[in-house]
A and B are shown apart, each in its own frame.
Chain A
Amino acid sequence: MTSFNPAAFRAFAAAIGQDWVMTSNEDRITYSDHFAADESKHQPAAAIVPATAQEVRAVVRIANQYKVPLWPISRGKNFGYGGAAPVTKGAVVLDLSRMKKIEVDTENGTVLVEPGVSFFDLYDYLQARKIPLWLSVPGNSWGSVAGNALDRGVGYTSYGDHAARICGLEVVLPDGDLVRTGMGAMEGNPSWQLYKPGFGPSWDTMFCQSNFGIVTKLGLWLMPEPESVQGLDFEFDKPEDLGWAIDTIMPLRREGVIQQSPSIGNWLRSAAVMTTRQQWTKDKGPLNDKVVAGIREKFKIGWWSVQVRFYGPTEITDASLRVLEKAFDKKPILSKKPAKWTRGDPPEGSPVTGVPVSFPLANANWHGGRGGHIGYSPVLPPKGDLAMDQFKRTYDLYSKFGMDYHASFAMGDRSLTNVNQILYDKDNPDMMGRVDAMFRALVADASAHNYGEYRTHIEYMDLVADSYGFNDHALRRLNERVKDALDPNGIIAPGKSGIWPKALRGERS
């Protein structure tokens, strides 16, 4: 799969211009996963960079003709999950980062973005026009608004479940056909970004974490700037405080008093971004209690920390805050600190108010040299005792493999996502061997408790897909029946989320 008919590349160049067909070794390297120890494993053969949906359609038709597997990326900043790199070595990256159109409906609070629009781009667009709509941004806001939502990324505000805010897509199908979902299926319909279901079956979620089409426009709801943001930052002293803290917050989450997803995480979150490991210790093993105490002292944090925020009219955020205070009344917290921003205050300037950032990526520098991280994020029921059990088992595995524990539990409406980061030095072969073994051990541990991951790195997509095994992997069989029906030549993102086209099923790992 690493060499293609030169005629295919001549056809691509004829369709979109020679300048946008990139086949040099330098190009291959720029589209590789820079977090990977062995970048060659998932290195693409080339990249093609169309500017419009019509050019995407032309490229897809040519790819069908010459059987060239394409790996569509929005902006390729999915760091920790493979970046721009494909599952299959030698696929051709279809880079949509030149597609940067933005259409905002200020009154209704929606945007229609093309895949190349980053969170910073959209932020700048809204600021320049003084449009009072807020983003929900992820910790790496360099990436694509559309790509992040399609990969089920998350943010900090009450609009933080990005996939849930998608409303209407434009998609190039694997045969080159062009479809608009929901109300967009009617020419000129003004409710494309307003009403999600449309008429008949709804297809938006079918294009999340899938390889069934190439999204060229994505509708998204944006939060009207609230009158106020209020909340509390809680610190907890002991590891075992995790359970009751979750059990205290979850009832408010279920009732809808809390509408964002509070994330309770450990002491390493601050240290890994703001410092490097060697500032704390020269020891190679897991960080000892003395180091942990030092980190907590420097950053004035607990073993666990959580931030809860309310958005809306001040009367409502005031009342919500009182409900939260009451829930924690007489509970053994280490400390709590209020936070408040009111419209008219100077810009508050953080992701909880929709300001894009990139500094959390600095945690890749934790070990000093060229670093990286991968995430392991099983979903479990939102119960404190289950979270405690999950924490203990995972902590033991971090210790066993000699890695620094870095975890959080994000509280969704009805679920808990246990986001674990494994921070590594990619130039340390011994450590990289342990990272791979540890990741596999973590997935095996989750599977043994019937928990599944919500998202994973390209290297582990088959491993995770394999854990969804009900009725001899009936869901995978369904996915692959759909795949074969829509994409008989198997040209769109083979292997994405463990979904392989018929001709390449033998490549499943």
Chain B
Amino acid sequence: MKRAVLAAIFALAGCSEKPAAKADGTKIENAFRGAMQDRSSKSPPEALFVEKCGMCHRQMGMGTVILARRMDPKVAMLEARTDLTAELITAAARQGIGNMPRISRGEVSDAQLSEISNYLTKGAAK
């Protein structure tokens, strides 16, 4: 059923040759191209963030797209935020927030969540 949604997004296509990874993570000039995320990482905690959270919280992720409706799009990606706390991250992951589903301990263990939380709150990504 998701196919239907996607096909429509391609209809927005222009002719940009630019690849993905826009700074604010949501503005795609051409949705036929450029929906690709930067999946790279420079440290094990960052790699863990990319593996467990990046699909929604990097460029053009579902979380990034929706958060950009509620705040400055420049900080819609979690790695650009400076106001995150471990408590908020843990609550959002385990209890869900808005459209974000809960993340089970089977998918992200408490230890992994703590490592991701440290990464996001220590400004490691900036």
**Real complex partners, A and B?**
yes
- Contact indicator B54/A365 (Cβ below 8 Å): no
Complex: how many Å from CA A178 to CA B8? 43
Complex: how many Å from CA A273 to CA B35? 13
A437 → chain B, closest Cβ, in Å? Answer: 20
Residue B86 lies at the interface, judged by CB distance under 8 Å to chain A: no
Q: Which one of B8, B66, B101 has the highest number of Cβ atoms from chain A below 10 Å of its Cβ?
A: B8
Residue B9 lies at the interface, judged by CB distance under 8 Å to chain A: yes
Residue A190 lies at the interface, judged by CB distance under 8 Å to chain B: no
Give the contacts of A113-130 with B (CB-CB under 8 A): 118, 120-121, 123-124, 127
Looking at chain B's contact residues, the main secondary structure is loop
Complex: how many Å from CA A350 to CA B99? 23
Which segment of B77-85, B102-110, B116-124 sits at the interface? B102-110
A314 — which chain B residues lie within 8 A by C-beta? none
Instruction: Say yes or no: A84-B104 contact (C-beta < 8 A), given A269-B8, A365-B69.
Output: yes
The residue in chain B whose Cβ has the minimal distance to the Cβ of A362 is B65
B105 → chain A, closest Cβ, in Å? Answer: 6
- Contact indicator A95/B106 (Cβ below 8 Å): yes
Instruction: Say yes or no: A273-B8 contact (C-beta < 8 A), given A365-B66, A365-B99, A371-B99.
Output: yes
Residue A233 lies at the interface, judged by CB distance under 8 Å to chain B: yes
Residue A75 lies at the interface, judged by CB distance under 8 Å to chain B: yes
B50 — which chain A residues lie within 8 A by C-beta? 124
B61 — which chain A residues lie within 8 A by C-beta? 358-359
A371 — which chain B residues lie within 8 A by C-beta? 99
Complex: how many Å from CA A407 to CA B3? 11
A47 — which chain B residues lie within 8 A by C-beta? 104, 106
Residue B19 lies at the interface, judged by CB distance under 8 Å to chain A: yes
Residue B95 lies at the interface, judged by CB distance under 8 Å to chain A: yes
A483 → chain B, closest Cβ, in Å? Answer: 26
Contact pattern, A 1-45, Cβ under 8 Å of B = 1, otherwise 0: 000000000000000000110100011011110100000000000
Interface size grouping (class) on chain A: 35 or more
Q: Which of B2, B18, B35, B105 is close to A350, meaning CB atoms less than 8 Å apart?
A: B35
Which segment of A138-146, A167-175, A325-333, A388-396 sits at the interface? A138-146
Q: Which of B6, B35, B69, B104 is close to A76, meaning CB atoms less than 8 Å apart?
A: B104
Residue A321 lies at the interface, judged by CB distance under 8 Å to chain B: no
Residue A193 lies at the interface, judged by CB distance under 8 Å to chain B: no
The residue in chain B whose Cβ has the minimal distance to the Cβ of A346 is B19
Residue B13 lies at the interface, judged by CB distance under 8 Å to chain A: yes
Complex: how many Å from CA A421 to CA B6? 13
The residue in chain A whose Cβ has the minimal distance to the Cβ of B6 is A139
Instruction: Say yes or no: A98-B96 contact (C-beta < 8 A), given A269-B8, A301-B11, A348-B33.
Output: no
Contact pattern, B 1-32, Cβ under 8 Å of A = 1, otherwise 0: 11111111111110001111000000000011
Q: Which of A84, A138, A270 is close to B3, meaning CB atoms less than 8 Å apart?
A: A138
Residue B125 lies at the interface, judged by CB distance under 8 Å to chain A: no
B94 → chain A, closest Cβ, in Å? Answer: 6
B4 — which chain A residues lie within 8 A by C-beta? 139, 263, 265, 269, 406-408, 410, 419, 421
- Contact indicator A80/B1 (Cβ below 8 Å): yes
Instruction: Say yes or no: A362-B62 contact (C-beta < 8 A), given A22-B104, A233-B10.
Output: yes
Complex: how many Å from CA A406 to CA B12? 17
A309 → chain B, closest Cβ, in Å? Answer: 9
Q: Which of B32, B69, B96 is close to A339, meaning CB atoms less than 8 Å apart?
A: B32
B7 → chain A, closest Cβ, in Å? Answer: 5
Contact pattern, A 284-323, Cβ under 8 Å of B = 1, otherwise 0: 0000000000000001110001110000000000000000
Complex: how many Å from CA A208 to CA B66? 33
A138 → chain B, closest Cβ, in Å? Answer: 5
The residue in chain A whose Cβ has the minimal distance to the Cβ of B98 is A370
B3 — which chain A residues lie within 8 A by C-beta? 138-139, 154-156, 160, 261, 263, 408, 410, 419
B102 → chain A, closest Cβ, in Å? Answer: 4
- Contact indicator A270/B34 (Cβ below 8 Å): no
Residue A347 lies at the interface, judged by CB distance under 8 Å to chain B: yes
- Contact indicator A362/B35 (Cβ below 8 Å): no
Instruction: Say yes or no: A120-B55 contact (C-beta < 8 A), given A22-B104, A97-B106.
Output: yes
Complex: how many Å from CA A97 to CA B104? 10
- Contact indicator A233/B65 (Cβ below 8 Å): no
The residue in chain A whose Cβ has the minimal distance to the Cβ of B58 is A358
Give the contacts of A247-300 with B (CB-CB under 8 A): 261, 263, 265, 267, 269-270, 272-274, 276, 299-300
A377 — which chain B residues lie within 8 A by C-beta? 1
A406 → chain B, closest Cβ, in Å? Answer: 7
Q: Which of B6, B19, B31, B56 is close to A156, meaning CB atoms less than 8 Å apart?
A: B6
The residue in chain A whose Cβ has the minimal distance to the Cβ of B18 is A346
Contact pattern, B 47-64, Cβ under 8 Å of A = 1, otherwise 0: 000110011100011111
B62 → chain A, closest Cβ, in Å? Answer: 4
- Contact indicator A421/B5 (Cβ below 8 Å): yes
- Contact indicator B17/A346 (Cβ below 8 Å): yes
8 smallest beta-carbon distances between A and B, as pairs: A139-B2, A269-B8, A349-B36, A375-B1, A408-B4, A49-B106, A360-B5, A30-B104
Between A and B, 25 residue pairs with Cβ closer than 8 Å are: A27-B104, A29-B102, A30-B102, A34-B102, A76-B107, A97-B106, A98-B106, A120-B51, A120-B54, A124-B51, A139-B6, A156-B3, A269-B8, A270-B12, A273-B5, A299-B11, A346-B17, A351-B6, A352-B32, A357-B35, A362-B99, A365-B98, A406-B4, A408-B4, A408-B7
Interface set of A (CB-CB < 8 Å, partner B): 19-20, 22, 26-27, 29-32, 34, 47, 49, 75-76, 79-80, 83-84, 95, 97-98, 118, 120-121, 123-124, 127, 138-142, 154-156, 160, 233, 235, 261, 263, 265, 267, 269-270, 272-274, 276, 299-301, 305-307, 337, 339, 341, 345-352, 355-365, 369-371, 373, 375, 377, 406-408, 410, 419, 421
